[in-house]
Chain A
């Protein structure tokens, strides 16, 4: 029974991870929603005057219910 529970947990995790890799939004009832946020390329200036160009990125975000 414990083995089955572990397998079930692994399957759930794998399904969520697979959906996130495909940039899908995943809804989990009573917990929250996983989504992918695309951060655009941007530049920022440090205190010492350096200007850095930050690359774009796709970030996993979680919003609780």
Chain B
């Protein structure tokens, strides 16, 4: 189709339409043009029914087409309206942010919160580096920079569960050291006492001078026994430290006390570790969310995949059935059954009553050929021919005048389009869209049949 209708072509067409010769047609066209020019010059504008209004303002010609013509020319994009991509500035989010900023400012003014983000002069910054201020500001800075800051600090509620072992070990070591010290001091005290006794005995009685050595030996043996005993006890401490026992030994009592205090620490730390476990659980819940979403998407993909597969299978079965019916001579054809009443006059009347004889409209049976130049409402654009055929059959079952044809997209891809109704103009098609059920009502486009 030629994309330009020249003046000469227009004269030829007019002559054909009016069944007059071209010369007369040319004169008529020239007269019409003059009438338009004259009318616009006299009144400022001239309206031509079915075309639009010509205006002449300060020697400048302009033309505004009639709404119906403009709509038909713009049939491809009929019904499309501007879409809001981003909302206005004064939104709720903006207000919330403003309020947040305001509250932040109030806090800084009242002195409750002081951060290093405040803009200060270099002198003030140098002052800020003094120890007491930096100790606070450094902590705040770390809090700002390191998201995990404070987890290992003493002030924090969170503790490493392995710290319990360290604390326990340190407590145990302390108790052992303390015990060893007390044993040594005890030994020294006893030795001093024995020496003093021996001196007193030596100085007091000669009988005791002999026994003095024995006494020393005894004391040494006792001391050795004590040492071995305490040594054993000291060796036993690590094993008995967790199980408190009634012992008179100072080392043991200390160890038991320490271990008792440590067990309290363990309890405290187990509470902390429980808190941490809870926190870990909540974190695991957060991580579960994307997995859950991914599972839903996967399920949806599988559903749509199998839906298409089932539709294809259904169509194949239907085709096989129809082939079998056509192959077998015993089974009467459905078309023959319909053809019989067509032969009679009553049948024709019945069909005429049941079906609208007009080729235009939304509902009714599909006519033999498409009326080129008319409009239709496209509801489906599908790559698979089988699926398009199924959708067409379904629409026909619902009573729509459904048509199907192959179209080539601008990117070269081939699709099967399923349209409903045939309309003389776009206005009728748009009116018919309002009668369509959802989701077709909001998801369609009008196209000219070419």
Contacts and interface: CB of A to CB of B under 8 A. Distances in A.
A28 B84 contact: no
B438 to A, nearest CB: 21
Interface of B is mostly: mixed
Interface string B53-81: 01000001111010001101110110011
B189 interface: no
A19 B419 CA distance: 25
A58 B90 contact: no
A60 B70 contact: yes
A26 B10 contact: yes
Interface residues of A, number: 45
Given A29-B7, A58-B73, A62-B63, A16 B36 contact: no
Interface residues of B, number: 49
B18 A8 contact: yes
Interface of A is mostly: mixed
Contact of B29 (A7, A12, A14, A43): A12
25 contacts: A13-B49, A13-B51, A15-B14, A15-B17, A17-B50, A19-B5, A20-B69, A23-B73, A24-B4, A24-B5, A26-B4, A27-B4, A28-B7, A49-B86, A49-B88, A52-B83, A53-B85, A55-B80, A55-B82, A56-B76, A56-B77, A59-B74, A60-B73, A64-B60, A64-B61
For the complex of A and B, the 4 pairs showing the least CB-CB separation, nearest first, are: A62-B63, A64-B61, A55-B80, A49-B89
Interface of A: 7-17, 19-32, 34, 36, 43, 46, 48-62, 64
Interface of B: 1-7, 10, 13-14, 17-18, 28-30, 32-34, 36-37, 48-52, 54, 60-63, 65, 69-70, 72-74, 76-77, 80-90
